[in-house]
Structure formats: structure tokens, C-alpha cells
């Protein structure tokens, strides 16, 4: 048994391992600007740095007063896969990185099952600062902070967006439906029509492992639309 399969077993994800024939269908992650012939717009590094600086200096909402660090996001700023969660937790706030701890480990395993890694995708959150006591984000906080996320998406130009959890889905789709209503189909991110798939947040999966099967369906849906790039196709 390979070490990677052992790793997935440890995460309780044995059922998510691709078969050999499945793996042959998974495209290798492609990095923009490497001669892939896609004609995608090159990211301006200076604009990205300027955006990082604006986030780290931001005081637009009251969360700036209680944060230790802003959490801008991590991964490849030219990635084709973008994953969006809700907000930093206590450990993320301490480290300035998204999805650390057990939820982060589960997210890494989910990526691994898609032949991806934290280095080949970009992972961010709707809020860049931690809400105290891990409470839900407030509407005004989302309104103030979401423009940073939209700017990140415009710069990255991902081929597929995975919205993890209700807050991410609602913020990205500017919707108020429940996650149950938003799951199960491919949406169009309204700003530039990128295919967007809604799934559960890894922290929820830790509490409700029975939802992993539905999450696996969502990941397969995202993978299919990553390959096909058809926005809104069911
Ligand atoms: S949560 Fe967003 S809007 Fe609020 S202070 Fe942090 S970066 Fe600024």
C-alpha cells in the first residue's frame, strides 16, 4: 500500500481514492503563463502585492481591532482551482494562513484526491480577519471584505471555484439560499462567469462525516467542469 493511500485512510477518506483508471482522466494542474497556449491574461505581480498590502493594512470593519494577523490566502496566485472558505479561526489568525489544523488537513486530503495540492491551487476566505470566538461573519463584515475576494478572483482568473460552506457560497453568488439549495449544480460566479461549485466546509465535515459522500460528488462535479469549462451546464 502506498504512503499516500495510508494518508487518506488516516483521514477517513479511503472511499475518495481514485482508481487507476480514474487517475488517468485527471488533468495535471496547469500553471498559467507557462506556455499552455490558453491566452489567459498574465497576472500583474505588483498589483497582487499591492492587494496583499491593502488587506494587511485594512481597518474597514471592526475585526481589525481583535486580529493578530490578516489571512490573505495561500497557494498559487495563477492557479486554475480556487477554493474559498468562510473566515480565519484562532490558529489561522495566529499563523496568518488559511486552513491550518484538522480542517486544513482534511482539505489537503480532499485536494490530494483530485491530484492537486495546496501549492497548485489558491485557498482563501471571504473574511480576511477572524471573527471573535469563531462567531459567524456579520453582514456588514462580509460587505466590507468581500471586494478583496472578488479582486483576488479577478486577478487569479481561476477555471473553477469551489465555495466551501454557506457563507462562501452566499457571498460569491450574492444569494441567500441554504447550502442544501445551492449544492448539486454548477453556478456561474456572477462577476466573470467562472464555473462555481458549492460544497461543505471541511470543518463541518469533521463534525458530520456522513456528508463526505456528498462532498465527493461535489468534487467530482467541480473536476468535470474544470475539464469542460462550461458555466451553468448541469
Ligand atoms: S475582515 Fe476584511 S474588511 Fe474587516 S478589517 Fe479585516 S480585511 Fe478589512
**What's the pLDDT band for 215 if we cut at 50, 70, 90?**
very high
Pocket test for ligand 1, best of 128, 132, 139, 142 (most atoms within 8 A of CB): 128
Residues 154-177 have a mean pLDDT of 96
Report the pLDDT value the prediction gives residue 13, as an integer from 0 to 100.
55
Ligand 1 centroid to 198 CA: how many Å?
Answer: 24
Report the pLDDT value the prediction gives residue 229, as an integer from 0 to 100.
64
Report the pLDDT value the prediction gives residue 195, as an integer from 0 to 100.
96
Query: What does the DSSP 8-state code read for residue 38?
Result: -
For residue 33, being part of any structural domain is answered with no
Neighbours of 15 (CB within 10 A): 10
Percent of the chain exceeding pLDDT 70 equals 79
Predicted TM-score of the model (pTM):
0.83
CA–CA separation, 111 vs 11, rounded Å?
12
**Is the pLDDT reported for residue 12 higher than 80?**
no
Number of domains in the chain: 1
CATH of the domain at 61: 3.40.470.10
Mean per-residue pLDDT of the chain: 85
Q: Which domain holds residue 142?
A: 43-228
For residue 16, being part of any structural domain is answered with no
For residue 108, being part of any structural domain is answered with yes
Residues 119-148 have a mean pLDDT of 96
Report the pLDDT value the prediction gives residue 226, as an integer from 0 to 100.
83
pLDDT tens for residues 31-64?
333 333 333 344 478 999 999 999 999 999 999 9
Site residues for ligand 1, CB cut-off 6 Å: 55, 58-61, 63-64, 70, 127-129, 141, 144-145
For residue 176, being part of any structural domain is answered with yes
Closest-CA residue, ligand 1 atom 3, reads 145
**What's the pLDDT band for 115 if we cut at 50, 70, 90?**
very high
Ligand 1 centroid to 4 CA: how many Å?
Answer: 37
DSSP track, 134-183: GPPPPHHHHHHHHHHHHHHHHHH--SEEEEESHHHHHHHHT----HHHHT
For residue 17, being part of any structural domain is answered with no
Report the pLDDT value the prediction gives residue 149, as an integer from 0 to 100.
98
For residue 71, being part of any structural domain is answered with yes
DSSP track, 78-101: T-SEEEEES---HHHHHHT-SS-H
Ligand 1 centroid to 45 CA: how many Å?
Answer: 22
pLDDT tens for residues 66-113?
999 999 999 999 999 999 999 999 999 999 999 999 999 999 999 999
For residue 55, being part of any structural domain is answered with yes
Report the pLDDT value the prediction gives residue 234, as an integer from 0 to 100.
53
**Is the pLDDT reported for residue 209 higher than 60?**
yes
For residue 151, being part of any structural domain is answered with yes
Q: Which secondary-structure segment (H or E) carries 107?
A: helix 101-113
Amino acid at each position: 500500500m502506498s504512503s499516500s493511500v495510508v494518508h487518506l485512510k488516516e483521514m477517513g477518506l479511503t472511499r475518495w481514492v481514485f482508481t487507476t483508471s480514474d487517475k488517468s482522466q485527471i488533468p495535471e494542474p496547469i500553471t498559467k503563463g507557462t506556455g499552455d497556449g490558453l491566452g489567459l491574461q498574465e497576472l500583474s505581480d505588483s498589483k497582487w502585492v499591492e492587494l496583499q498590502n491593502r488587506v494587511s493594512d485594512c481597518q474597514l470593519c471592526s475585526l481589525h481591532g481583535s486580529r493578530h494577523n490578516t489571512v490573505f490566502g495561500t497557494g498559487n496566485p495563477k492557479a486554475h482551482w480556487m477554493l474559498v472558505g468562510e473566515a480565519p479561526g484562532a490558529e489561522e489568525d495566529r499563523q496568518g494562513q488559511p486552513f491550518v489544523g484538522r480542517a486544513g488537513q482534511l482539505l489537503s486530503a480532499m485536494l490530494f484526491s483530485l491530484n492537486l495540492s495546496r501549492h497548485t491551487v489558491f485557498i482563501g476566505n471571504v473574511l480576511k480577519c477572524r471573527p471573535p470566538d469563531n462567531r459567524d461573519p456579520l453582514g456588514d463584515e462580509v460587505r466590507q471584505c468581500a471586494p478583496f475576494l472578488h479582486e483576488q478572483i479577478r486577478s487569479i482568473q481561476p477555471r473553477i471555484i469551489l465555495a466551501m460552506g454557506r457563507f462562501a457560497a452566499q457571498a460569491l453568488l450574492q444569494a441567500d439560499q441554504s447550502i442544501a439549495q445551492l449544492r448539486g449544480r454548477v453556478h456561474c460566479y456572477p462577476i466573470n462567469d467562472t464555473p462555481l461549485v458549492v460544497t461543505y466546509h471541511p470543518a463541518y465535515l469533521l463534525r458530520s462525516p456522513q456528508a463526505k459522500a456528498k462532498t465527493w460528488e461535489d468534487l467530482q462535479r467541480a473536476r468535470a467542469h474544470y475539464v469542460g469549462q462550461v458555466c451553468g451546464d448541469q
